[in-house]
Structure 1
Amino acid sequence: MSLTAGCLLGLLMCSADPVDEIRVESVLLTLIEHADVSASETGLLSLLTVKEGETVAEGKPLAKIDDRDAKLICDRSETELKVARSFADNDVRVRFARLSVAVANAELTRAKESNVKFPKSVSQSEIDRLKLLADKSVLEVEQAEVDQLQAKLSLQIKQQELARAILALERRTIIAPFPGMVVQWKKQHGEWVEPGMPVMRLIRLNRLRAEAFVASGKLPANLVGRPVKLVMSDSGKSAIKYTGTLVFVSPEIDPVNGQVRIWAEIENDSLSLRPGESGTLMIGPATLSKPVITDSTATPTDKKSP
């Protein structure tokens, strides 16, 4: 490669200009997450732990369904589990059966040795009886081991029943599925609820969606992931800016007006923004990768002949 060609290639690789900032007017703020939180179990709504307008964290208890019966079932499962564990851990029968095998084999061995030293000192019937006792002792070991295995399996069943009882108890507490604000109680203290019945409405405000429709001809191909700023203008006050990220560009173009739906996630940690407000969205330029610097003065290394 010549020196002039190398300089030209380096210039082309470094001269790409970033895409200009895009301004979108009349952006509407909407909710990203909102839910009618429902009951998971049947029962009487016995406690409301938060008020309308209160902000809650994810996992915070919101209400409780009467759980006295569920607690009794849970306590009984715990007791049954202790009983099952005592049976599963008890290996006395196994150890006794193994000792019985040793004793029976010893008696049988002594009887056979006695017959060797003193022929016919022990009758064949007695030998057969002692052999039967020895075989019986072996089978009793196997039976004791089977019984202990069944006790361990029963222990697993009781553990599962306790876990199910604990789950049923936990499901009587209605918790927040995401951080947000309680805006409406649909059921009140003392009312009866069923599984799937909405109890309260929860909305998330610390992250909102800025949604708009933009002419498809003005949109570059690499919009998703760009940083954005939401500008909120107030009469008589300076504009307030909120940061966020563009996360969605619809692949569909409206055949009537040629517009594309886009939306960005806007951080609203101060909770000063409200769904339904409108503002201006500034979509930042795409982040450019670092330019590749080429050494135009480099020349190929001369190869030496072997």
Structure 2
Amino acid sequence: MTLLFSPRTWFQATLLSGVLGAVLPVLATELVGLAFPMSDVQVSASVAGLVQRISVRPGQMVKPGELLLELDNASQHVELRRRAVLLDDDSELQTARVRLAALTELLQMTELVASKSQSVSKEELVKARLEKAAAEGRLLQLVAQKARERVEHEQAQLELQQRTVRAPLAGVVVDVPMDVGEWAKPGDVVVRLADISQVDLRLNLSQTAAASFRVGARVAARFEAGAAQVQAMGQVNFVSPMADSASGLVDVRIRFANPNGRIRPGAKAVIRIPGASS
């Protein structure tokens, strides 16, 4: 048999391959995704109205519940004051209570006299009882009316509140597409808010590559930031249990803290997965 390598040549080749295997890194796959804000909300008005005041501007940070925009509310203020006056006026109710108390006492006295003598006719006794019953009925009517007035006052307050648009979450104002004097309809976007305190890096990966990710795993990424780059460490918070029926790709999301806003939503980011294949 003829040897292609002498024993010495074979030993050198084996040694060299072992050294190269120890020195050269395992090939890594670079995966590219896009950064998205944790929340991106298009805030709309719940009622129609004329834009009266805009309290925010693009780039401004807002807190939950902070006033964003106000619709014309003059008529709602007037209606609320009218309802408040009606609700506060309980003079008729107090009069009805006093009347009932007096008729109740009068009936008791009439019944007492009727039980001890014949000076009170049966007709007078029946009349006293009917007057007391009517007074009780009137008092119940007024109590129910006052309850309705309370509900109507609350409704007027709600209608006034609906003329204001407030921030549903903390974030930065991205856009204010409305101007003062424009007519806003229910469903029209009046302010766009984004919470960029955290960002989600979204990747659409093959099932093979997606198998490299587990929820809770820490992953490093390199984000575009103009001429520079931002290095950040995030955590896998979602690996879709389903693959897209059209492309066969799996949605994977990695969340990164972004307290200083250094990561701009919409920027591309690269992560390296050792030994993975795309």
- TMscore range, shorter length: 0.7 to 0.9
Q: Which residue in 2 is equivalent to 1:275? A: 265
**Residue 248, structure 1, aligned to residue 238, structure 2:** yes
Q: Give me the whole-angstrom Cα distance separating, in 2, the residues matched to 1:43 and 1:204.
A: 27
- Classify 1:102/1:254 alpha carbon distance in 2 versus 1 (closer, same or farther; 3 Å): closer
- Asked if residue 261 in structure 1 is aligned to residue 251 in structure 2, the reply is yes
Native 8 Å contact 2:223 2:263 kept in 1: no
Deviation at 1:106, TM superposition (A): 2.7
Gapped regions of structure 2 (runs ≥ 5): 1-27, 274-278
TM-superposition CA deviations, 1:95-142 (whole Å, max 9, x none): 011111122113323424xxxxxxxxxxxxx65xx2222222223222
Residue 159 (str. 1) matches residue 165 (str. 2): no
Q: How does 1:204-243 map to 2 (within 5 A)?
A: 204-219=195-210, 223-224=214-215, 226-232=216-222, 240-243=231-234
Does 2:26 correspond to 1:26? no
How many residue pairs get matched?
Answer: 244
CA shift digits 1:173-202 (9 cap, x unpaired): 111122222222211112222222222222
CA distance 1:23–1:133, change in 2 (3 Å): farther
Residue matched to 2:48? 42
Q: Distance in 2 between matches of 1:138 and 1:171?
A: 50
Hey, what does 2:4 align to over in structure 1?
A: none
Distance 1:134 1:23, change over 3 A: farther
Residue 127 of structure 2 aligns with which residue?
Answer: 136
Contact 1:23 1:280 in 2 (8 A): no
Q: Write the distance in 2 (CA, Å) between the matches of 1:282 and 1:154.
A: 71
**Match of 1:266, as an amino acid?**
F
- d(CA) in 1 for partners of 2:114, 2:124: 9
State how far apart, in whole Å, the 2-side matches of 1:148 and 1:242 are.
Answer: 71
Q: More strand by proportion, 1 or 2?
A: 2
Contact residue 46 and residue 66 of structure 1 kept, 8 A: yes
**3-state DSSP class of the match of 1:33?**
strand
Aligned mates of 1:202, 1:97 — CA distance in 2: 64
CA deviation profile, 1:257-291 (whole Å, cap 9, x unmatched): 753111133322222211121224589xxxxxxxx
Structure 1 vs Structure 2 CA RMSD? 3.0
For 1:302, the equivalent position in structure 2 comes to none
CA distance in 1, matches of 2:152, 2:260: 45
Decide which moves more: 246-255 or 167-176.
Answer: 246-255
Q: 2:229 & 2:189 partners in 1: Cα distance?
A: 42
Tell me which of 51, 57, 65 is aligned to 2:57. 51
Unaligned regions of 5+ residues in structure 1, if any?
1-21, 113-125, 284-306
Q: Which whole-Å CA distance do the structure 2 matches of 1:279 and 1:68 have between them? A: 50
Provide the TM-score with structure 1 as the length reference. Answer: 0.69
Give the aligned residue type for 2:150.
Answer: Q
Q: Point out 4+ residue stretches in structure 1 off by more than 3 angstroms.
A: 85-90, 217-222, 227-230, 233-239, 254-259, 280-283
1:68 and 2:58 correspond: no
